[in-house]
Amino acid sequence: GLGCVELTVALHFLYDTPEDRIVWDVGHQAYPHKILTGRKEAITTIKKTGGLAPFPKRGESEYDTFGVGHSSTSISAALGMALAAREQGSDRRVVAVIGDGGMTAGMAFEALNHGGDLDPNLLVILNENQMSISPNVGAITKMLGRLMSGPTVTGIRERSKQLMERDSRTWRFMSRWEEHVKGMVMPSTLFEELGFNYMGPIDGHDLPTLLRTIRTVQSVEGPNLLHIITAKGKGYAPAEKDPVAYHAVGPFNRAKGVEKKPAPAQPTYTAVFGEWLCDMAEQDHSLMAITPAMREGSGLVTFEKRFPDRYFDVGIAEQHSVTLAAGMACEGAHPVVAIYSTFLQRAYDQLIHDVAVQDLPVLFAIDRAGLVGSDGPTHAGSFDLSYLRCIPNLLLMAPADENECRQMLYTGFVHPGPAAVRYPRGTGPGVPVQARMEALPLGRGQRRREGRGVAILAFGSPLHDCLAVAETLDATVANMRFVKPLDTDLVRELAASHSLLVTVEENAVAGGAGSAVNEALADMGVAANLLNIGLPDRFVEHGSRSDCLADAGLDAAGILRQVRARMAAMGMTLVPGNDVAQGAG
């Protein structure tokens, strides 16, 4: 938020907020806004359990006019507010603040195109700080620079110099042509062609200029776009020097700066993926890696350095990333799309229409599946099992540990059709990762513990808490591994030999892996007592990941509590002395 301090002060000074609406894109830059709107004393609680939300949130403050977290939604939302105000006969003013990174998403231009046609009273402020999560060099300036320094224009320019020596009239013509090309791609021309009155660029840290310019814009009817230039982390040298390290940080000691956390004792799932990707690329030169602006978060930094020609960061363009992969697969390449679960939601049509319908070999490495903790519900991967398992042709896997993650990635990569591996944020249980890669037998789970009375079917990350619960209940535990195809033989066997089946997943219960088990039993005509445990039918708020799991009832204590409650309702008992579950009657 340091890059937006002056802008935030200017907006709250010149606009009658919250009556006037300010919509912040993504929300990472809204910390100064929170401080100025009554939350200064609580700002150190941001992202913490019970503290301030990491992004603007309507339920937190009347000044947070629109809830955000994902990129490039601000202009659409602000346009909707402006149109509603016009229909209501209100003179309420609406401002959208969006960064240049957000302008890499098509949705932003869809809104600009529509807004320019409708002629609302709307101000869009384009904050060009040359920084999305993965660095870029500024979307707008990059466009102009690339064109004017490219080989085509450079070649024509050099040729025109030669012509000038023969005929000065020709040189004058070529000079006018060059200026015309510049005009065609200048930001002013781009936005004015979309129907917006363009002003700028101006220094976003010059408060008097900001105030004067915004006052001028306020007097102009219709859609306006103000282009400002700011520096990420302005005024704090460590953040200016390393903007990536200071992106969306939690509280830290200002004198010491953000201190690097010690490396975890075991690798994160993200690191396991990054290492597998490099190993696989060494073996298979058809592998192409794609990410929508999440190089660091998805573990692709090393891959980009080692295989730059096979690395593609498409910007905040999830839809494009999936169809790009589909096109590669059509021509014999083997793409791997590294994407967060929450962002894959934005490319659902492309996943179905462009990949699954054509049965193309695209591997989706889905990070941040399940609860993500401090980033809250906008970034939680709560629904991927539900929205993926209904898609024909798709192989869907959930690893329970680090080594299984590596083997599943390989299994999905060598699969002849589309495949997805979903894994959580953070570290696993510490299972050693074997270098050798082996394809797992498709649709086959494994029994991990034998017990009686209760059988727990674990899908992915909850397995180890389920094993702890099973020690108390003397329950059977199965590591299901595959959500699609489901191991129906194992499900049938467990249903026949146990009084209660319990499914556990870090996904919404509705439509998830547990629902797949329910459907399979119904299709087989097998009657069974079932308990589906997963994320509740509500959005789990931000906090530490462990706090969020406890809140959802998905830690060991929560799982045990729910199983015991169902056992009691069924009349099942625990034999005193060894806590063995016994069926009723």
Catalytic sites, residue numbers: 232, 318, 346
Closest CA to 506 of 478, 528, 534: 534
Measured distance CA(495)–CA(417) in Å, rounded:
31
C-alpha torsion angle, residues 94, 100, 102, 108 (rounded to 10): 60
Q: How far apart are CA 60 and CA 75, in angstroms?
A: 21
Nearest to 482 by CA among 437, 533, 426, 439: 439
Radius of gyration for the chain, computed over Cα atoms and rounded to the nearest angstrom: 27
- What single-letter DSSP state applies at residue 490? H
Structure letter (DSSP) for residue 256: T
Polymer length of the chain: 585
Structure tokens at 442: 């498709």
The amino acid that residue 138 corresponds to is: G
8 Å CB contact between 315 and 103: no
By the 8 A CB rule, do 56 and 30 touch?
yes
- Gap between the Cα atoms of 37 and 452, Å rounded: 58
Q: Give the C-alpha separation, 94 to 80, whole Å.
A: 10
For the four alpha carbons of 406, 407, 408 and 410, in that order, the dihedral sign comes to positive
Neighbours of 359 (CB within 10 A): 14
C-beta of residue 342 within 8 angstroms of C-beta of residue 320? no
Q: Are 377 and 543 in contact (CB under 8 A)?
A: no
What are the structure tokens assigned to 407, written together? 């083997």
The one-letter code for the residue type at 237 is: A
